[in-house]
């Protein structure tokens, strides 16, 4: 496959979610506020790609997610929502990898005591809803942070279209809202709190409501921090890791912008008005790992490119099931090239916390 025919890499950013990805832009002066606001809107718009790509993977059987369809509007459905097989596999693999690490965090913490998950730039991500749709986990305080516009839309969908799907765990519960957060009680021990907050002001907003520094905490950034200036991401990682002494972190971002494929990736993003400042600041697997050690003080740090996640964390039986969904993947070399430019890097610190693969 020649370079011009390789799929637009932004499509891979929409998974179960690119979950996000609504958080970029530079803080503006009076003369560039309009440009900054426009860039924010562009980045928020990538969440549409996220929800559509997630729905494509669900509709074709790659993923199971009863909530995915509720975050794609009828207007969005009027355009084709089916992604190319290589993109569906990317959505599946990155989702599987992050789910694997979330499970590692939960299994290493005491289920009889509170533990917390913070999703940065959560957008229409459905991981929290899926965790709370069964009795498998207890004592989880799940927090999602995003722009007020994004959080308001999600709160509306949960309160209208999704409440009946979620209610069996606690049919008597109702959403509790305040001027700054939306809190949903899923059971006596599980809660979801939505924080309408621009991540660029996160360090000035700590501590956030309903978050305790004494509880083990997992921080997730799935194509989110990459849209912010490196100095801002450094402050966010440092502040959160300091505020939560026992914590883990999972970051999913693109890497390797300087080879031929990486240059095309950057060009594709730029054509849509999207910049990823951290891509230049942390361009390699090694620099991403060092980032977590230096900025977050994480004593244990690991990473895998998405192609290695597929190779190492997806069982043979599951690989066969996925391959049968669309008759196998013809573009094997293209898959390795594409998936090799995306990375999951994770770290952890604190007594008793263990996220080793």
How many whole angstroms separate alpha carbon 349 and alpha carbon 105?
11
How many whole angstroms separate alpha carbon 150 and alpha carbon 173?
24
CATH code (residue 265): 3.40.50.150
Q: Are 21 and 123 in contact (CB under 8 A)?
A: yes
* Interval 246-257 mean pLDDT: 98
pLDDT band of 133, cuts 50, 70, 90 = confident
pLDDT more than 70, % of the chain: 80
187 SS3 class: coil
Q: What is the pLDDT of residue 31?
A: 42
Whether 234 shows a pLDDT value over 70: the answer reads yes
Q: What is the pLDDT of residue 185?
A: 77
Q: What is the pLDDT of residue 229?
A: 95
How many whole angstroms separate alpha carbon 62 and alpha carbon 65?
10
How high is the mean pLDDT of the chain? 85
Paired residues of 146 in beta bridges = 196
Tokens of 316: 């043979």
pLDDT band of 162, cuts 50, 70, 90 = confident
Q: How many domains does the chain have?
A: 1
217 SS3 class: strand
Residues tagged in the binding site annotation for S-adenosyl-L-methionine: 94, 121, 198-199, 222
Q: What is the pLDDT of residue 233?
A: 97
pLDDT band of 183, cuts 50, 70, 90 = confident
Return the C-alpha torsion angle 217, 119, 86, 264, nearest 10: -110
354 within a domain of the structure (yes/no): no
Q: Which of 78-87, 178-187, 324-333 has the highest mean pLDDT?
A: 324-333
Q: Given its phi and psi angles, is residue 202 left (phi above 0), alpha (psi -120 to 50 degrees) or beta?
A: alpha
Whether 284 shows a pLDDT value over 50: the answer reads yes
22, HSE (Cβ side, Cα atoms, 13 Å): 29
Reference 202, options 242, 233, 166, 246; nearest CA is 233
Angle between helical axes of 230-243 and 285-296 (0-180°, round to 10)? 50
185 within a domain of the structure (yes/no): yes
Tokens of 180: 């700054």
Do the strands 140-146 and 191-196 form a parallel or antiparallel pair, or are they unpaired?
Answer: parallel
Tokens of 320: 């066969």
311 within a domain of the structure (yes/no): yes
Q: Over the Cα atoms of the chain, what is R_g? A: 19
Taking the CA atoms of 126, 149, 9 and 218 in sequence, report the sign of the dihedral they define.
negative
Pick the range with the lowest mean pLDDT from 71-75, 86-90, 286-290, 302-306: 71-75
90 within a domain of the structure (yes/no): yes
Q: What is the pLDDT of residue 163?
A: 65
Q: What is the pLDDT of residue 73?
A: 81
356 within a domain of the structure (yes/no): no
* Interval 125-150 mean pLDDT: 90
134 within a domain of the structure (yes/no): yes
11 within a domain of the structure (yes/no): yes
φ, ψ (nearest 5 deg) of residue 228: -100, 160
Do the strands 191-196 and 217-222 form a parallel or antiparallel pair, or are they unpaired?
Answer: unpaired
* Interval 82-96 mean pLDDT: 95
| Residue 318 domain boundaries | 6-349
Tokens of 136: 């498998």
Q: What is the pLDDT of residue 352?
A: 86
357 within a domain of the structure (yes/no): no
Whether 75 shows a pLDDT value over 80: the answer reads no
Residues tagged in the binding site annotation: 94, 121, 198-199, 222
How many whole angstroms separate alpha carbon 339 and alpha carbon 308?
8
* Interval 9-32 mean pLDDT: 41
């Amino acid at each position: 496959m020649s370079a011009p025919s390789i799929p637009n890499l932004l499509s891979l950013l929409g998974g179960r979610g690119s979950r996000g990805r609504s958080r970029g832009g530079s803080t503006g002066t009076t003369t560039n506020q309009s440009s900054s606001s426009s860039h924010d809107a562009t980045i928020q718009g990538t969440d549409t790609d996220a929800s559509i790509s997630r729905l494509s993977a669900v509709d074709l059987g790659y993923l199971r997610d009863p909530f995915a369809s509720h975050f794609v509007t009828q207007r969005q459905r009027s355009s084709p929502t089916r992604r190319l097989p290589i993109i569906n596999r990317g959505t599946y693999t990155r989702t599987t990898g992050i789910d694997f690490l979330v499970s590692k965090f939960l299994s290493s913490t005491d289920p009889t005591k509170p533990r917390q998950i913070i999703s940065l730039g959560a957008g229409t991500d459905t991981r929290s809803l899926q965790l709370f749709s069964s009795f498998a986990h207890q004592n989880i305080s799940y927090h999602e942070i995003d722009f007020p516009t994004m959080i308001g839309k999600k709160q509306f969908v949960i309160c209208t279209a999704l409440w009946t799907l979620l209610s069996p765990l606690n049919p008597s519960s109702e959403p509790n809202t305040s001027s700054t957060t939306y809190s949903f009680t899923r059971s006596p021990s599980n809660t979801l709190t939505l924080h309408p907050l621009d991540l660029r002001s996160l360090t000035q907003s700590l501590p956030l409501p309903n978050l305790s520094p004494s509880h083990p905490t997992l921080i997730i950034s799935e194509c989110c921090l990459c849209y912010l200036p490196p100095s801002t991401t450094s402050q966010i990682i440092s502040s959160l890791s300091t505020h939560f002494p026992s914590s883990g972190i999972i970051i999913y971002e693109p890497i390797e912008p300087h080879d031929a494929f990486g240059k095309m990736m950057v060009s594709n993003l730029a054509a849509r008005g999207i910049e990823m400042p951290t891509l230049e600041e942390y361009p390699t697997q090694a620099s991403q790992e060092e980032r977590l050690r230096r900025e977050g003080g994480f004593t244990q740090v690991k990473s895998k490119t998405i192609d290695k996640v597929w190779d190492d964390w997806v069982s043979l039986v599951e690989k066969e099931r996925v391959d049968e969904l669309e008759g196998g993947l013809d573009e094997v070399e293209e898959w390795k090239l594409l998936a090799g430019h995306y990375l999951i890097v994770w770290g952890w610190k604190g007594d008793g916390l263990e996220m080793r693969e």
